[in-house]
Structure 1
């Protein structure tokens, strides 16, 4: 794997025509551990994929593929999650999920997606409201759903729609069970990290975590413009007053025509940040 700057590599991966979801997620690990080599995570994913390939064999159907993934990942390797994982940042970092075999639904699904891809199986993410699962097969034809958070148990379409409705979604939405875009998956992971880090008890360390999560989000080809405002605020909070003020002014320029009040607020925050330079 390339030894180029991790941020530059992340930007290249997420803007490639065929996004390597796992590599992008593993590069997030460098943000918390500068010594981590993403190649270690790739090697583990390859090892798991080899075990799945050996179980499936040369000929398979959708059901057999789903069963093989559940046996290897949910059974033998013991990938699963529980409620306490939501309070642990490691549950949102792929290299830690591969090490601990524990994680949030979206990270465990990412393991299934990448292992399936490496094993030659059609596995894709399904972004339900409030939950994340995987589909195996053809989303417009024959497919099965599985829930990696619960060890890969099968999930019926009707149950998936019930989960969506319980979380405030629209169970009849025709796009509900369609494959999630890799960049949308990555943004959702980064949003989870930002939400974790924004809790008051995280203090200044949480601000630094939010900052790198925001900065990686801004490297994605699609991202909310408001992240630029958040970045400016976080730069100021972490003591980078000049850079924060400049980002806040840039954001104000961006939104001035659309929302003058928001722009005015951002300029006020920029002024306050510059005042702290004195």
Structure 2
């Protein structure tokens, strides 16, 4: 296996090279347009992603390349722990989406806004737009900008106002604040980016920004997070949902209103009371 890194803003991870449909062409292009891809899909088309997409990689995210064939790479994503593989979340991405791992790994910073501009020089036009939860190593700071290390041994700048140090202290309220940036965003199966989130993708992405590397999927999150009594859950904790004899299938942030979550395909990210039909499957609570 070899080390690589995502060199596009968002690379969708697929179950196999044969999984993408014609409508998915913008997502697998050498320069993917994930925003246009998400916009092009109606609810029925989004439902068709089940069994096709798994997760997403963000710019600069490291991967282990297990094999390559026909322009595709079989990868493991170590920043996304999974019970499917001890080395990281497995799947397939276009090989054109991968480059050399950034040389620096110190002082990581995370994008805390929906979209941040990556610039060749401070204040210049954008080279590309980076998604929320993108994490890069910082090299230097100057006049309100941070220089970051990129794949393929490149460097560029991001405004400090779009960043936080992932090692900075965080409080529970930060999870609600960051998650609320995406209220109204349409649910996307396998989404971990600004352009679409699923339930566990929301919890994973927010945690990444706050310096916590947790599993990608809800049932794995339930297995590793600190378990707390349901009656002790407070805003910023998480609720887990499941049915008898089945694994956990849903997760959301506990909020003052009830729960902040990406509910399901066809719906949008919302902060709402915990409805009776949800309470029927509420099985556990966890603390980050």
- TM-score > 0.5 by shorter chain: no
- Is the helix fraction higher in 1 or 2? 1
TM-score by length of 1: 0.30
- Is the strand fraction higher in 1 or 2? 2
TM-score by length of 2: 0.30
Larger RCO (CA under 8 A, 6+ residues apart): 2
